[in-house]
Homo-oligomer: A and B are copies of this chain.
């Protein structure tokens, strides 16, 4: 927990047996589903049951609950990085920015564990983010939108993940009634960021 796990540093190029590969996928699939639905405290036992394997099998593939979460976070951040990359291809910088924010907001609101991990397991997220150079990519998307005069100059790259996190929570907040949709919240947030 404290010291960032060392993770099989060397090449784990071990060729898995066919059933092992199959189970690995099944576990990841169920985990993705259950964590997204229930958040970080989805239970390993339930994931195993859902995947149709024993707990032991889950643990052989992912020695720790946190390792499993790390794998899932990595997937998510790869998606985010691709979205940022795509945003940079869009001709209109402002629109590219909006598209990136929209993708991020959707992912964040659809995956409860992701938004919880962002403030309960910062180390894990930071690691996943660094692996895809998320901050740099985010910065580029933002800078382009600022250069074109679409977004306020005082916003910094680090604000983006924070704002997206906030959005994730605001939307989930069920303290009062039907609650706002993520689109509406995003719209308000973007309005506040426009130059």
The interface of chain A, by Cβ under 8 A from chain B, is 118-119, 122, 125-126, 129, 135, 155, 157-159, 161-163, 165-180, 184-185, 187-193
Contacts and interface: CB of A to CB of B under 8 A. Distances in A.
Contacts of A166: 166-171, 173, 185
A168 to B, nearest CB: 7
Contacts of A167: 166, 170
A192 B193 CA distance: 7
Contact of A162 (B161, B162, B163, B179): B179
Contact of A191 (B118, B158, B192): B192
Given A189-B189, A190-B192, A193-B188, A173 B162 contact: yes
A163 B178 CA distance: 14
Copies of this chain, count: 2
Contacts of A122: 173-175
Contacts of A125: 175
12 contacts: A119-B174, A126-B175, A129-B175, A129-B176, A162-B175, A165-B169, A165-B173, A166-B173, A168-B169, A188-B189, A191-B192, A192-B192
Interface centre among A122, A126, A155, A170 (most CB of B within 10 A): A170
A171 B158 CA distance: 11
A163 to B, nearest CB: 6
B176 A158 contact: yes
A19 B162 CA distance: 46
A181 B118 CA distance: 17
A171 B180 contact: no
B161 A175 contact: yes
Contacts of A191: 191-193
